[in-house]
Chain A
Amino acid sequence: MPHCFRRLFPLFIIGIAILASGSASAHAEAGKSQVITVTPSSTDVSIDPGGGVSKSIDIINGGESAFAIALSTSPYHVTGEEYDPQFTQLPGTVDASEWVHLSTKSTTVAGNNTLTVPYTIDVPKNAAPGGYYAVLFAETRTDNTQTGVVSHNKVGNILYITVNGAVKSGGNLTGYKLPLLHFVGPIPIGTKVSNSGGTHFITNITYTVTDFKGNTVFKATFDRYILPQTEREIKSSFTPQAAVGLYTVHRSATVAGVLKTLPDQKIFVINPALLVAITFLLGILIGLPLQRARQRRRSKET
């Protein structure tokens, strides 16, 4: 028996070593993952011309290994009604990202740790009142020894900066033309909110659908930023549950602080299968008496 132990002992040691190295390599693989989180993901500030504010951004490393990060700022604007974000400067506009001064531009965040990076936004004295936009980015940096397609993760904190002063505000609400008759599937009931003013506002949109008794069968509310000199599409859809019904769609939104309401629109919904069944039944109900009457007429004639 002791002989047996003596023979097996080296194998036991080798086994332990293999298990240990396996777990170490698995750990190293897990450690390579990059989980970068920033909070807040957007910051809304109002500053007087010539004034400034001090803020901070938290960068959270959710992985086990430390990673290097680079901090930077970029201009920010959106394109299209879908609001596709762009990190470039619109021609003829002021680059507000130059107003942001970071306390550091590169640092390391330890694994499972949070790093707070202070920054200031300093508005020039000659800045005109209105809305200005920028993004503060935190980006992971990888070492140069990796090969293949090497990925970097970048997350942004959007800065909505209002320079105080007299600013024109206004906008409009328009809606999709809704069908009078609908057969099957969801009905798009979205709207578009435009901003003709000089700074952003938050629109509060409400879509409500009521049945013929006045009961609410669908309700959706959204709070969305509307940037100056843009129009934004806010999509939603209502899927009727009943096979047949008469519905009224109510749509309203606050536009630059003013409640605007679109005219109510009625939609008659009928399931195509039900429509076919009703047509078939009507055909039978009308056709059978006609057929009988024809048969009676023929028998009288003969």
Chain B
Amino acid sequence: MNQLIRKVAVISTVPVLAIALVAIVSSLQVSAVTTSVNSSIGSIISVFTSSGTVAVNATPSAVGVQTIANDVVTISTNNASGYTLKLAETTASSALVSGGNSIVASAGTLAAPIAQALNTWGYRVDSATIGGFGATTTSPVSNAAIGTIKFAGVPATASPDTIKVTSATATNDTTNVFYGVAVNTATPSGAAYTNSITYTAVTNP
């Protein structure tokens, strides 16, 4: 009789344990379903210039020489509609100034750049779509004959030139900005001809 009771007790515990096991497993499954992962990615934009100063040194001759040096502006942004890069003077002065001497800015503009005139300085970007520069590949030169490559004067602070527009995210996207100086012996010597320019980068709306 006792054995019978024991058998019945053992047999009856099996479904109870099975139900408990199913309940535990199903509760685990429920908790797994409700797990979610959220992530917020912040928007950024960065500008990097290689050195912070571009040396456009020249040793003039009577007929004139041209020196072209470049600055590399690197932009990164995770904005899906890209970025716009602008260039302008930092201060009111548009000339390269050394004490009381100066090299005036090129009379060319972004829309209508011109070959460098004697005793002027300017900038250009190689682009078929930005302004009137054209896609001619510019190479840095030192004290070379004055060429036909077109330059523009750096614009005033209040009206910067747009030198690059993109429409997608960018990782270390580079823009070469060339600065050219054309001088003859009418430009007095000086080791400190200086001008400050500002690169402005904003994300597109």
Which residues of A does B touch, CB under 8 Å?
Answer: 29, 32-42, 60, 62, 78, 82-85, 87-88, 135, 137, 139-140, 142, 146-156, 158, 160, 200, 222-227, 235
Contact = CB atoms under 8 A, between A and B. Distances in A.
B48 to A, nearest CB: 4
Nearest to B84: A85
Interface size class for chain B? 35 or more
B179 A149 contact: yes
Given A37-B46, A88-B158, A142-B52, A151 B202 contact: no
A277 B96 CA distance: 62
Nearest to B158: A88
B46 A223 contact: no
A39 B41 CA distance: 10
B81 A149 contact: no
Nearest to B123: A149
Contact of B197 (A149, A160, A224): A149
A222 B81 CA distance: 8
Given A40-B42, A155-B47, 18 more contacts: A34-B48, A37-B44, A37-B76, A42-B79, A82-B165, A84-B84, A85-B84, A85-B202, A87-B160, A146-B52, A146-B194, A151-B197, A151-B198, A154-B198, A155-B201, A158-B203, A224-B81, A235-B167
30 contacts: A35-B46, A35-B47, A36-B46, A40-B42, A41-B202, A82-B165, A84-B84, A84-B162, A84-B165, A85-B86, A88-B158, A146-B53, A147-B194, A148-B53, A149-B54, A149-B71, A149-B96, A149-B194, A150-B194, A150-B196, A150-B197, A151-B54, A151-B73, A151-B199, A154-B201, A156-B45, A158-B203, A200-B205, A224-B81, A224-B205
Chain A to chain B: the 9 pairs with minimum beta-carbon distance, closest first = A225-B205, A37-B46, A156-B202, A153-B47, A41-B45, A149-B54, A39-B44, A154-B200, A41-B203
Chain B facing A: main interface SS:
strand
B46 A155 contact: yes
Contact of B51 (A29, A40, A160): A29
B52 A62 contact: no
Nearest to B202: A156
A252 B167 CA distance: 19
Nearest to B121: A149
Given A29-B51, A34-B48, A154-B47, A41 B197 contact: no
B202 A147 contact: no
Contacts of B167: 235
B46 A151 contact: no
Given A82-B165, A154-B199, A158-B205, A148 B56 contact: yes
A133 to B, nearest CB: 9
Nearest to B205: A225
B135 interface: no
B120 interface: no
A34 B52 contact: yes
A198 to B, nearest CB: 17
Contact of B203 (A37, A42, A78, A227): A42
A60 B46 contact: yes
B143 to A, nearest CB: 16
Interface in B57-112: 57, 71, 73, 76-77, 79-81, 84, 86, 90, 96
Contacts of A158: 202-203, 205
Contacts of B192: 147
Contacts of B191: 147
B50 interface: yes
A78 B81 CA distance: 15
B71 A38 contact: no
Nearest to A40: B43
B204 interface: yes
B186 interface: no
Contacts of B158: 88
B71 A135 contact: no
A142 B54 CA distance: 13
Contacts of B200: 87, 137, 154-156
Nearest to B57: A148
A40 B78 CA distance: 10
Nearest to A39: B44
Given A85-B84, A149-B56, A152-B199, A38 B44 contact: yes
A78 B47 CA distance: 21
A33 B44 contact: no
A149 B195 contact: yes
A37 B52 contact: no
